[in-house]
Amino acid sequence: MKGTDIATYLSIAIAIISTGLSIWFKIKTKWKVDELKRALKSIHDIARKGKWLSMLSVADLTLLIGQLESKLSDIEQYAKEFTDQPEQSEYGHLIEKGYLSYKSAIYKIEKSPVVKTIWLVTPDLEPDSSKKDTAEMVLRNLKDRKEYVYFYPDDLANEQATVERLYANIGISSSMTRLMDQITLIPISRQHIPEIFEERSNIIFFLKDTHIFDCYKEIVITRVVERGEIWDHLDRTTADNLYHKLLKVYDEHMSSRQ
């Protein structure tokens, strides 16, 4: 292949990569600016060296192409971070600082022996009603005698079918009395505690004892198919306020069952 042909192909590749990276540069957060700068510098190096391709010997071309492949590999790595893992590039800094948590950390807390009860405030009974990995963990926790309380809107579409799907996904039936008794479903009017259903996200309380708990709110990333990947640790004032409102609803519900 002639040097001029190589230069043509590389010029096309550079144009495509440059366009893509310039778009990412505009829409991504500042935490990846340094990486993007390095990627753009790589593009500059490729373009600058590409001008001299037709003047180089075969040996020089082989050496240079190896260097350019390394540069392109760097650029591909940065682009992959943005396209395959948007939550990492956007929220990674906050996770590193401890302000946000990954699902794996939430699962670890939920499985902890010090957690006795889990309250899930959910607009749709997800992901427990459809995600198998979540349901399997819930079932293990129920067998370890943890209790689950689901607060959901009383106008939930297809409520009966959704509740049946929840039980089926967890893997329990009406004959499994003890496990069934460890799950409490509490429908709430959206007007009763308006703030809990304002967003399409879950709020989870991990109760270690009465009034001793941790509280997290799901960060919903609409561009990612899977929900529940990233969670925000709610501040104590907000969490306490929600807890006492829900506790009142819980106490009223339990009293009505007696």
CA atoms within 13 A on the CB side of 158: 8
Q: In the prediction, which pLDDT does 209 show?
A: 81
Burial class (CB in 10 A: 0-12, 13-18, 19+), 97: exposed
CATH match for 98-257 among 3.30.870, 1.20.81, 3.30.70, 1.25.40: 3.30.870
Looking at mean pLDDT, say which of 32-46, 190-204, 241-255 comes out highest. 241-255
The predicted-structure confidence for 25-65, as pLDDT tens digits, reads as follows: 555 555 455 555 565 555 555 555 555 555 555 555 566 55
Provide the residue ranges of all domains of the chain, joining segments of one domain with +.
Answer: 3-84, 98-257
Q: How far apart, in Å, are the Cα atoms of 130 and each of 70, 168, 196? A: 43, 9, 21
Burial class (CB in 10 A: 0-12, 13-18, 19+), 75: buried
Q: pLDDT by residue (tens digit) across 81-109?
A: 544 444 444 455 445 545 577 888 888 89
- CA dist., res. 33 & res. 14, Å (int): 20
Antiparallel, parallel or unpaired: β 147-153 and 230-233 = unpaired
Higher pLDDT, 205 or 195: 205
Are the C-beta atoms of residues 213 and 247 closer than 8 Å to each other? no
Alpha carbons 223 and 211: distance in angstroms, whole number: 36
- Residue count of the chain: 258
Alpha carbon 179 to its chain centroid, in Å, reads 29
Who's near 255: CB < 8 A, 6+ residues apart?
none
How far apart, in whole angstroms, are the C-alpha atoms of residue 160 and residue 35? Answer: 50
